[in-house]
Amino acid sequence: MTNLKEIILKKIHERKVVMRPRWPFVLRGILLLVLAGIIVCFALFVVIILTASLRETGMMHLPVFGAPGLFHLFINLPWLIILGVFIALILVEILFKKFSFGYRTPTLILLSIIGVATVFGGILLSSIGPRDITRQIRNNNFVRFQMHEGPEFIKMRPLTHGIIRELNASDILIETNSETIRVLFDNLTQFPDGKEVLSIGSPVFVGGLRTGNTVRAFGISNEPPELQFYRRQMMQKK
């Protein structure tokens, strides 16, 4: 018997060293899973709000205008929130790495699965969930969510939608929920639904940046039905 072996076994027999029971390890594993579950649910909740908000504001429809639409959707995404979700998922991974008594987890695969599941789950749930989720949440004071909401945010959005009230060779006048805006268009402006959308009284969806009460359009199309729904609601309230 080696000296080291003698010393250790002596300590064990004298009960100076005691084996820890199994349950704390199991409990720690369960707590870790619960914590990870809470973080994932939070991430899912944020994604639901995010996609619902993008849909309800019309931002999700910007890609119909091709590259300029995609570009504006991309730069207008609430990156801080997306970063927050990403950090939350990394936190889950760190927790697993530091505290799980299991072995190495394939990090990239795990993160990808959780990330993709969260994003697609969020998009799916927000699409089958009730309409106007963000407004309902705000009205119930459940969470104050300023993203894409409020008059200042609305003016900064690269999109406008309303009904054409005046039609000229290179501009139109549209009436939105709250104001009248002149929309300028040229040869570069995209018309994915054709130029027929330009008729007095028709509801249109305009992609373009705003300066004062003028919008320089990079695309004009039919107004998506859900935006018409919100506009009607606003009109009724007025």
Partner 1 sequence: MVEQNPEPSDEIIASRIQQGNTDALGILIDRYEARLKRYGMRFLAYDDDIEDAVQEIFIKAYQNIQSFDATRKFSSWIYRVAHNEFVNHIRRHARDPLPFLDFEVDTLIPHPFSDDTPESDLEKKEMKELMDKALKKLSPKYREILLLFYYEELSYEEIADILRIPKTTVGVRLNRAKKEIKKHL
Q: Which residues bind partner 1 (CB under 8 A)?
A: 1-2, 4-5, 7-9, 11-13, 17-22, 25, 90, 93-94, 97-98, 101-104, 106-108, 111
Please enumerate in sequence order all residues whose Cβ is within 8 A of that of 161, keeping only pairs 6 or more positions apart, or say none.
58, 174, 176, 203, 204, 205, 206, 223, 224, 227, 231
Residue given tokens 């100076």 in the structure block: 16
Are 167 and 199 within 8 A, CB to CB?
Answer: yes
For the bound state, the minimum distance from the C-beta of residue 34 to partner 1, rounded and expressed in Å, comes to: 19
Contacts of 166 (CB under 8 A, 6+ apart): 172, 173, 200
* Residue 2, Cβ density class (10 Å: 0-12 exposed, 13-18 middle, ≥19 buried): exposed
In the complex with partner 1, which residue's Cβ is closer, 17 or 33?
Answer: 17
Q: Which is nearer to partner 1, 5 or 237 (CB)?
A: 5
Nearer to partner 1, 13 or 237 (CB): 13
Cβ-based nearer residue to partner 1, 17 or 124? 17
Alpha-carbon torsion angle 206, 123, 85, 62, nearest 10: -10
Minimum Å distance from CB 96 to partner 1? 10
CB of 91 to partner 1, least distance (A): 11
The residue among 2 and 211 lying less far from partner 1, judged by its C-beta, is 2
Closest residue by Cα to residue 101 from 46, 170, 26, 173: 26
CB of 111 to partner 1, least distance (A): 8
Cβ proximity to partner 1: between 27 and 234 the closer is: 27
Query: What is the closest distance, in whole angstroms, from the C-beta atom of residue 26 to partner 1 in the complex?
Result: 9
Residue 72: exposure state from Cβ atoms within 10 A (0-12, 13-18, ≥19): buried
Q: Least distance to partner 1 from the beta carbon of 98, Å?
A: 8
